[in-house]
Amino acid sequence: MIVALLTAAGIGTRMGQDIPKQFIHVENKPIIVHTMEAFQEHPSIDAIIVVTLSSWVDVLKAYASQFNITKLRWVVPGGETGQESICLGLQALKEELNEDDIVMIHDGNRCLVSSEIISNSLVTFRRCGSAVTAIPCVEAVFRSGDNGISSNITVPREQLFRTQTPHTYTFGKLLWAHEEAQKKGIRNTAASCTLMQELGETVYFSRGSEENLKITTLDDLMIFKALLHTKKDRWLK
Rounded to an integer, what distance in angstroms lies between the CA atom of residue 133 and that of residue 118?
9
Residue 92 has, within 13 A of its CA and on its CB side, a CA count of 21
Rounded to an integer, what distance in angstroms lies between the CA atom of residue 160 and that of residue 143?
12
pLDDT in tens, the chain (237 residues): 999 999 999 876 677 777 889 999 999 999 999 999 999 999 999 999 999 999 999 999 999 999 999 999 999 999 999 999 999 999 999 999 999 999 999 999 999 999 999 999 999 999 999 999 999 999 999 989 888 899 989 999 999 999 999 999 999 999 999 999 999 999 989 899 999 999 999 999 999 999 999 999 999 999 999 998 886 656 556
Q: What is the dihedral of CA 49, 53, 54, 56, to 10 degrees?
A: -90
Specify whether the CB–CB gap between 7 and 51 falls below 8 A.
yes
Angle of the 82-92 helix axis to the 171-184 helix axis, nearest 10: 130
Q: How many CB atoms lie within 10 A of CB 7?
A: 25
Rounded to an integer, what distance in angstroms lies between the CA atom of residue 163 and that of residue 151?
24
Residue 2 has, within 13 A of its CA and on its CB side, a CA count of 19
Q: Counting beta carbons within 10 angstroms of the beta carbon of residue 138, is it exposed (0 to 12), middle (13 to 18) or buried (19 or more)?
A: exposed
Per-residue pLDDT at 186: 93
Specify whether the CB–CB gap between 227 and 211 falls below 8 A.
yes
Please measure the distance between the N-terminal and C-terminal CA atoms of the chain and give it in whole angstroms.
35
Q: Counting beta carbons within 10 angstroms of the beta carbon of residue 226, is it exposed (0 to 12), middle (13 to 18) or buried (19 or more)?
A: exposed
pTM for this structure? 0.94
